[in-house]
Structure 1
Amino acid sequence: MAQQDTRLGIWLMVLTTFIFALQDGLSRHLSEATNVYMVTMVRYWFFAVFVLTLAARSKGGLRGAVKSGQPVLQAIRGVLLVLEICVMVSAFVHLGLVESHAVFACYPLLIAALSGPVLGEKVGWRRWSAIGIGFLGILIVLQPSGGVFSPLAAIPLVAALMFALYGLLTRRVARTDSAATSFFWTGVVGVVTATLIGMWFWVPMSLPDWGLMALLCLTGATGHYTLIKCYEVAEASAVQPFAFLQLVFAAALGMVAFGETLRPNVALGAAIVVCAGIFTLLRARKAEQR
């Protein structure tokens, strides 16, 4: 058991969000050059090797990692995450990093709203108020009178819903399975799903793009490694609010590397969503302590 160090955990979360933002930028570029499904498939090949390596080195080895008390839910988690990645990267291609992440930032609110019917948790009036305010922020981002509001705006919203369901199922299986088991099933089921989809969309890729693909795979493994280390040294509830920094890093990358713009309504709406999300996380932490 690693010694608890919240400050180190926070810095590891900041580093993780920066790495994942870089991964998002690489995913957008490569998906524009080829397609979303091929990029997701190749990245999962590398991720599966990373997962199997960690599982083999964990207590109980591969045999211990594969044992699950809820294999059906674990399989659904793995499939759901692959589909969520495909949907979210499609959002990067069609909407850009800035606006996609501004909408996607609502996923903690969706988790809070769905935790009652899915997990049987009680959600108090304060969190429901924060959820309502957060979705007001989403409306500001979408700007129904114009701007980003279009059928394309539904893409990151669907991704956020899928990721929220993935998060809820992760908490559900955690009642019987270890984190190592969940991680193993995520990688193995994910690589099978991604390959069954992506093998139909294989296209030639230039040598420089293969180099970027290698970098994408490396950032994926590195990001998950720093995230694991983050949760080893600090409580998830203490560092989770800093995960919103991925929105900041991704927006900066979108503007610098892809020439995107940050419109005032997107900045205002995203700020409201993030504040509401942090509030729901803090209320959930207090509820757990009680």
Structure 2
Amino acid sequence: MTVVAAPDQAAKNLKATGFLLLGSLTFTFEVVLLRYLGDHVPFAQIVLFRALAQILFAGVWMSTTVGWVALKTSRPGMHIVRGLFSLACWWLYYASFASLGIAMATVLAFTTSLFTVLLAGPVMGEKVGPLRWAATLIGFSGVVIAAGLDHLKFDPAVIMALFSAAAGAGIVMSNRRLSTTESTQTIMVYIGLVTIVGVLPVAIWQGGFPSGWDIPLLALSSLTGCCGMWCNIEAYRIGEVSAIAPVPYIRLLFAALAGFVFFAEVPDPRFWFGAVLIVGGALLISVRRKARKE
């Protein structure tokens, strides 16, 4: 029997879809800017600006909602772990987009769901069923095809993108632990603080400071990334996961279009076949997770 969402929930799902579409557009705009900046701005500076923007964004959000008292925490160690995952994820994410085609880097970022399944058992003690294992294997076979690994084409940037996705899985798991006691704003502020502490020595060691148009472009890309993250948070706060699960993958089409328009990138048929397997595996995992909760 087909379950139809109540009118109230259907309206929320539609609103959530709008948030996810806006998030996909802003994330795509962010990586276009990063592709330009990555040619001459060190990644440490890009990550530093991103962390500063996150603190600013989350600070304003916190001051207008839960208040600054939310900075008080009894779990500093877990916040440090969460922040280190973000530092690794952001650095490798930006590095992969600087070297790979935008569409390829985007589809590899979607493998976070696959890594989450691999780590769910040993790290979270979750029982992973055969369907989710099958979906994970399908997804990783898509990585092999899309990236040409079956032809032994080992691009270091592909490895960076996959490590970024693995760090993203660490983010998902640490979020699950922290969200039981901490607000989203609190988590975001501490992510920014830990990332700044981790990346600032590298930024100082590399020397120099952005100048000219690089400064407003860095600020714009960083705030764009924060806005995209906020759109995703709001979408999953009000929408049903099973109803909106396919929407984020529209970002792949946005990425392919941006790559073609701005950088004359044209993915080959192998890429699209692999992308279908990656997205299909990730979707199956998402829908199956929702079904298990119900």
TM-score, L = length of structure 2: 0.89
2:205 paired with 1:200: yes
Aligned to 2:160: 155
Matched, 1:55 2:62: yes
**Per-residue deviation at 1:206?**
4.7
The code of the aligned residue for 2:57 comes to F
Report the alpha carbon displacement of residue 153 of structure 1 after superposing the two structures with TM.
Answer: 2.1
- Matching residue within 40, 43, 58 for 2:47: 40
1:122 alignment partner, one of 123, 127, 147: 127
Please report how far the alpha carbon of residue 111 of structure 1 lies from its aligned counterpart in structure 2 after TM superposition.
Answer: 0.8
Compared with structure 1, are the counterparts of its residues 238 and 189 closer, same or farther at alpha carbon in structure 2 (3 Å cutoff)? farther
Map residues 1-290 of structure 1 onto 2, 5 A cutoff.
Answer: 5-59=12-66, 61-63=67-69, 65-146=70-151, 148-236=153-241, 238-289=243-294
Q: In 2, Cα distance between the equivalents of 1:96 and 1:242?
A: 22
Number of residue-to-residue matches in the alignment: 285
Displacement of 1:201: 2.6
Q: Deviations over 1:208-257 (max 9, x none)?
A: 33332232133123223323332342244543432222222222212221
Distance in 2, matches of 1:197 and 1:236, equals 39
Does the Cα contact within 8 Å between 1:21 and 1:246 map onto a contact in 2? yes
User: How far 1:175 sits from its partner (Å)?
Assistant: 2.8
- Asked if the contact 1:20–1:220 (Cα under 8 Å) also holds between the matched residues in 2, the reply is yes
Runs of 4+ in 1 over 4 A off after TM superposition: none
Give deviations 1:17-75, integer Å, cap 9, x for gaps: 1101111111121111222111221232222111112122222x222x22334321211
- Residues 98 and 250 in structure 1, CA contact (< 8 A), matched pair in contact too: yes
Partner deviation per Cα, 1:166-200 (whole Å, 9 max, x = no partner): 11111122233333332232222223333333232
What one-letter code is carried by the residue in structure 2 that aligns with 1:172? R
3-state SS, counterpart of residue 226 of structure 2? helix
Per-residue Cα deviation, 1:117-172 (whole angstroms, up to 9, x for no partner): 11111111111111111111111112235485333321111111111111111112
Contact 1:102/1:269 (8 A) holds in 2: no
Task: Supply the distance in 1 between the matched residues of 2:135 and 2:233 (Cα, whole angstroms).
Answer: 29
Amino acid at match of 1:18: L
**Contact 1:38-1:201 within 8 A present in 2 as well:** no
Change (3 A) 1:53 1:194: farther
TM-score normalized with structure 1 length: 0.90
Which stretch has the larger CA shift, 241-250 or 124-133?
241-250
Structure 1 portions without partners, runs of 5+: none
Residues 1:136 and 1:206: Cα distance change in structure 2 (over 3 Å): same
User: Structure 1 202/23 Cα, relative in aligned 2: closer, same or farther at 3 Å?
Assistant: farther
> Contact 1:91 / 1:155 at 8 angstroms: preserved in 2?
yes
The 1:209/1:274 distance shift into structure 2, 3 A limit, reads: same
Which shows bigger deviation, 199-208 or 109-118? 199-208
The separation in 2 between residues aligned to 1:202 and 1:253, in whole angstroms, is 32
State the shift of 1:82 in Å.
Answer: 1.7
The whole-number CA distance in structure 2 between the counterparts of 1:105 and 1:222 is: 19
Query: Cα 1:102–1:222, aligned 2, differ >3 Å: closer, same or farther?
Result: closer
- Aligned residues of 1:14 and 1:242 also touching (Cα < 8 A): yes
- Give, in whole Å, the separation in 2 of the partners of 1:55 and 1:34: 31
RMSD of aligned Cα (Å): 2.1
Alignment check: 8 A CA contact 1:69 1:177 kept: no
Q: Write the distance in 1 (CA, Å) between the matches of 2:270 and 2:226.
A: 35
Q: Contact 2:241/2:290 (CA < 8 Å) preserved in 1?
A: no
What SS does the corresponding residue of 1:50 show, helix, strand or coil? helix
SS in 1 for 2:79: helix
Alpha carbons 2:95, 2:160 under 8 Å: kept: yes
- Runs of 5+ unmatched residues, structure 2: 1-7
